[in-house]
Amino acid sequence: MKDEWIQKQVEAGQAPEGQEGELYKIVFSALKQEAGFKLPSDFAGRVAAAATRPAKSFNWDLFFLVFGCTLCVTTSLYVIITSHATLSVGVFSFFSGYRWLIGFALLFIGLLNWVDKKWISKAAIH
Amino acid sequence: MIDDRALAARVAEGNKHAFELLIRKYERLVAHMVGRVINNAEDLEEICQDVFLKVYEKISEFNFQSKLSTWIATIAYRQAINHLRKKKIELADLPDDEKLEERFIADTNTVELIEEDEMESVVIKLIEKLPTHYRVVLTLYHLENMNYAEIGEATGMPEGTVKNYLFRARQLLKEKIKTYLGKEV
């Protein structure tokens, strides 16, 4: 109750006597100080420009991506057909002798990722 | 000085100059609000930018049932809280924690950290150690001169809670510097 009264007095510009009043005056004065963080001077200009920028009428990035992929697939098919190539596992047949080791490695990496996500990352945040 | 209604109408029409004016007018408010919730300086500017982009997107729906500043503060508060949620940073320091006051006053780390500073700087550093909700309420009341109702609207807290948090936060700061001065003597 006493604190509430002192806070009201200090806020109203009165100067209550005693140590509590003095301490509250320091607190109220500090609360009027600007926070340390300030936005850069060009912030308003940059954000306004980004927000009002007209939307692209044609997405050239997407066009080149689709065009490139189509060209790549078409060329690959043409080469496969004209060269009478046959599909084979080739160098990957080497792995068949180590299937348990590879299986274990994949499982182990997966487990490590799970442990990291579940326990370690959370601990790092706190 | 252009009034908020005219400014908002021009922004809603897509006027870049008007939007830049609006940002300049309210960037301090947004920086204060976001800065009090987010401690990571690297994310602050990005979140402030997101706040204004949201303002631009939604301003045509704003019907002036509250002040423009209160509406922008609401967006800033929600954006900052959503950022904490996205980063999975919990608001673990909720002021409802009964032991909070004991812990805050007994925390000697803060005192060691600030012992060289002037008393006002000490209080400013202590504010940073307060729970997020206390910091937000203190900032909106003392720096942005919002009243209890406006703070309640911006943060979604009942007016009584805003009043209570303000009182408790100031009392905590006072008790902390009292303890600090007691150790100094």
- Looking at residue B141, its pLDDT comes to 93
* CA of A31 vs chain B CAs: smallest distance (Å): 6
Q: Residues 28..47 of B with a Cβ closer than 8 Å to A: which? A: 31-32, 35-36, 41, 44-45
Q: Cα separation of A3 and A21, whole Å?
A: 9
Residue B178: which of A25, A119, A37, A59 has the closest Cα?
A25
Q: What is the mean pLDDT of chain B?
A: 83
Q: Which residue has the higher pLDDT, A57 or B25?
A: B25
Which string of b and e fits A36-62 if b means at least 16 CB within 10 Å? eeebeeebbeebbeebbeeeeeeeeee
Answer yes or no: is pLDDT of B100 > 80. no
Q: Cα separation of A40 and B74, whole Å?
A: 22
Reply yes or no on domain B4-86 having CATH 1.10.1450.10.
no
Task: Give residue-wise pLDDT tens across range B51-71.
Answer: 999 999 999 999 888 899 999
Structure token pair of residue A112: 């490590």
Which residues of A sit within 8 Å Cβ distance of B? 3-4, 7, 19-20, 23-24, 26-40, 43-52, 122, 125
Q: B4-86 and B100-184: same fold?
A: no
Give A-chain residues touching B49 at CB under 8 angstroms. 43, 46-47, 50
| Segment among A23-37, A61-75, B89-103, B119-133 with least mean pLDDT | B89-103
What is the band of A121 on the pLDDT scale with cuts at 50, 70, 90?
low
Q: What is the mean pLDDT of chain A?
A: 84
| Segment among A70-74, A113-117, B121-125 with least mean pLDDT | B121-125
Q: DSSP letter string over A4-61?
A: HHHHHHHHTT----SHHHHHHHHHHHHHTSPPS----TTHHHHHHHHHHSPPPSS-HH
- Looking at residue B117, its pLDDT comes to 52
User: Residue A19's closest chain B neighbor by CA?
Assistant: B178
Task: Give residue-wise pLDDT tens across range B8-43.
Answer: 999 999 999 999 999 999 999 999 889 888 877 778
B170 contacts chain A (CB < 8 A): yes
Among partner residues B17, B48, B174, which is closest to A39 by beta-carbon distance? B48
Q: Where are the domains of chain B?
A: 4-86, 100-184
User: Per mean pLDDT, which of A63-72, B59-68, B87-96, B123-132 is the most reliable?
Assistant: A63-72
CB within 8 Å: A51 and B177: no
Residues B133 and B95 sit within 8 Å (Cβ to Cβ): yes
Answer yes or no: is pLDDT of B112 > 50. no
Looking at CATH, the fold of the domain delimited by B100-184 is given as Arc Repressor Mutant, subunit A (1.10.10)
- Looking at residue B115, its pLDDT comes to 46
Q: What is the mean pLDDT of residues A70-89?
A: 87
Q: What is the mean pLDDT of residues A3-25?
A: 83
Q: What is the mean pLDDT of residues A47-57?
A: 83
Give B-chain residues touching A47 at CB under 8 angstroms. 19, 23, 49, 52-53
CB within 8 Å: B127 and A31: yes
What is the band of B1 on the pLDDT scale with cuts at 50, 70, 90?
low
Q: How far is CA B109 from CA B89, B90, B125, in A?
A: 22, 22, 12
B127 contacts chain A (CB < 8 A): yes
